[in-house]
Amino acid sequence: MAKGEEKTLGIDADKPGKAILLMGVEAIARGALEAGVGVATAYPGTPSSELIDRLSKVAKKFNMYVEWSINEKVALEIAGAASISGVRAITAMKQNGLSVALDFLSGLAYTGINKGLVLMVGDDAGALSSSNEQDSRHIARMLDLPLLEPATYQEAKDMAKWAFELSEKFSTVCILRGTTRILHGRGNVTLGELPEAKPEAVFDTSRSYAPDITFVTKIHANLHKSLTKISRVYDASPFNEYAGPENPELLVITSGTGWLYSSEAVKVLSAQKRVGILKLGTTWPLPNKLVAGYLMGAEKVLVVEEVDAFLENNIKERAADLRAGRTWTFFGKATGHIASFGEINPDKVINAISRILGRKYRARTSAYEKMRNDIAGSLLIPRELQFCAGCPHRATFWSIKDALRLDGRGGVVAGDIGCYSMAQGATGYSQTKTCHAMGSGVGVASGLGKLKQFGFRQPVLTVCGDSTFFHASIPALINSVHNESDFILLLLDNSGTAMTGFQPHPGIDRNAIGDSAPRVDAEKLCKALDIPVTIVDPYDVKQTRDEFLNILQGGNGPKVVICKRECALIRATREGALFKVKVNPDKCLGEKCGCNRYCTRVFGCPGIRWDRDTKKAEIDEAVCNGCGVCVHVCPRSAIDREARP
């Protein structure tokens, strides 16, 4: 029984001293619980979404308020309100989300906070699930906010807890930054105490959180003074540590994932006697004294970090400020020893260190690389980024493509952020032509729809998911009504924030902790703006295409078509497939059809595969989610579907 019990231990386990396996984000959630956090908010975004997901499950137990907010700015505002009313709060976002929250964050930096307020930002190094790989640490420097970067899972938990104290002590938001491998990797975390006391909320009206406009520069000056003090605190922080000889031949300064990779590299190269590693967990402001001390003991310095040369440039600046009458040779992103983009890994650090030390060691030989690629090529099916089997977006983009080809005026589709961002590729028939930020599809379409006076004659469409609609599309939509722009918004309503894991949003009738919640009706909202609204079922490809064509060829002004169909995965998980789909081998003419493998090559649902032996199509039952759309796609009507009970 004891063993079974261990398996089920989660972030809420009241077992101080016990080590459990936690994901980095979970460790941060645990750290927040140990800090007595009262409010947690976020808009989902990889790799940050699990924070709220995990906290929402223990919210009732810890009397927490946890919400999925409409967007990152609002999430930070909710958390900010808690903090200034005496309740510790945490908010989480990905790097793109930080840009959304930035406006409020810069305000908050000047007004200060009350109880600890931690902003966890997940940076998607390598842009595995993002449209950019911007390095959020610059924001901390730009806004004079303290920054922490955990290097291990234990540190993620401990640092999160400490971040609240630091935030509170200096009355400022503390940014806790992790990259994907820290946040999504797992490691053992030794649990600490969970606090007994519950926070009590009250807004102390004797204090103001509105910056006095006449004193803004003075506030700014105070922020800088505060940073000097924080730097002193950092000098003594246990999150910074050094391992290596007193005067190393090469000093590696690193943060986050870079520390484990550097440690492994030094070990692999057996260079412990030549190389010292200074791991910094507190990266803005720099722990000035600490860094100066180690710099003075070295001549060659390599900085290892993900993504930008943030630490590297700050350290060079620090070195210049030392006026030590000596020079250092710095290695890192500027010298090309560490790539200034993408994720790093132990191999890259091994190569960098062996180059600097004049060692011939290569992490992997080119022969090995070739062998690896050959084997992978023979075993793995080449697959591009694509919509899941049965995805309503595929059906919608199929109809968009058909409608625009038939219309023949070179219609343009402005894209947006969500699963449907993939529509710029083959899976969405390369239909979307722009993709920038949450909600920007409507803004860009609204702009395209105002270019008639310059001879613009192409019809304009844009798409946004239901979650993206609420997140940031509405102001642009209102703008388009007032300024009489001409475009069609296709609201791809799949009933959830599908891309990040089906989180609810204001259009869903339940909240973060699973309780029922009022649903905001997008259709009513649009109608209240006097925008004509049509609702279609994307699975009915013919009706959807005809409706698109009708509206394309109809009158002016912004129009909304709600393409309503629940995400195939949500449905399939809950109640199974809609249809049982089968290819009738007597009707499918295979290679002889003249359709040139229309179902698999053009429609491209992964639920259909081409049998190399029979040279005909067949349904892959393990993959098919039973949407039944392919029945309308086959030119020979060779695909049958049967409603499931």
Residues that bind other proteins (CB under 8 A): 401-402, 405-406, 408, 429, 593-596, 598, 601-602, 633, 635
- CB closer to other proteins, 258 vs 411: 411
- CB closer to other proteins, 73 vs 545: 545
**Closest C-alpha to 617, from 640, 580, 627:** 640
- CB closer to other proteins, 292 vs 602: 602
3-state secondary structure of 282: strand
CA distances 69 to 13, 49, 54, 139, 472, Å, are 27, 12, 15, 22, 12
- Minimum Å gap between C-beta 458 and other proteins is 16
In contact, 97 and 497? CB cutoff 8 Å: no
- Minimum Å gap between C-beta 429 and other proteins is 8
- CB closer to other proteins, 25 vs 629: 629
**Closest C-alpha to 428, from 505, 490, 500:** 490
Sign of CA dihedral 242, 244, 247, 250: negative
Burial class (CB in 10 A: 0-12, 13-18, 19+), 52: buried
Give a three-class secondary structure readout of 213-258.
HHHHHHHHHHHHHHHHHHHHHHHCCCCCEEECCCCCCEEEEECCHH
Residue 232 tokens read as 């002193």
- Minimum Å gap between C-beta 591 and other proteins is 10
- CB closer to other proteins, 78 vs 633: 633
> What DSSP state is assigned to residue 40?
E
- CB closer to other proteins, 377 vs 594: 594
In contact, 463 and 441? CB cutoff 8 Å: yes
In contact, 198 and 69? CB cutoff 8 Å: no
CA angle centred on 553, ends 547 and 557, rounded to 5°: 95
- Determine the Cα–Cα distance for residues 616 and 591; give it in Å rounded to an integer: 7
- Minimum Å gap between C-beta 592 and other proteins is 9
In contact, 112 and 141? CB cutoff 8 Å: no
- CB closer to other proteins, 242 vs 598: 598
Give a three-class secondary structure readout of 306-374.
CCCCHHHHHHHHHHHHHCCCCCCEEECCCCCCCCCCCCCCHHHHHHHHHHHHCCCCCCCCHHHHHHHHH
Q: β-strands 186-190, 19-23: how paired?
A: antiparallel
- Minimum Å gap between C-beta 603 and other proteins is 9
> What DSSP state is assigned to residue 619?
E
- Minimum Å gap between C-beta 463 and other proteins is 20
- Minimum Å gap between C-beta 537 and other proteins is 21
- Minimum Å gap between C-beta 386 and other proteins is 16
- Determine the Cα–Cα distance for residues 520 and 262; give it in Å rounded to an integer: 50
- CB closer to other proteins, 401 vs 505: 401
- CB closer to other proteins, 403 vs 444: 403
- Determine the Cα–Cα distance for residues 536 and 622; give it in Å rounded to an integer: 29
In contact, 169 and 54? CB cutoff 8 Å: no
- Minimum Å gap between C-beta 593 and other proteins is 8
- Minimum Å gap between C-beta 400 and other proteins is 12
- CB closer to other proteins, 420 vs 429: 429
- CB closer to other proteins, 17 vs 594: 594
- Minimum Å gap between C-beta 633 and other proteins is 8
**Closest C-alpha to 75, from 100, 43, 123:** 43
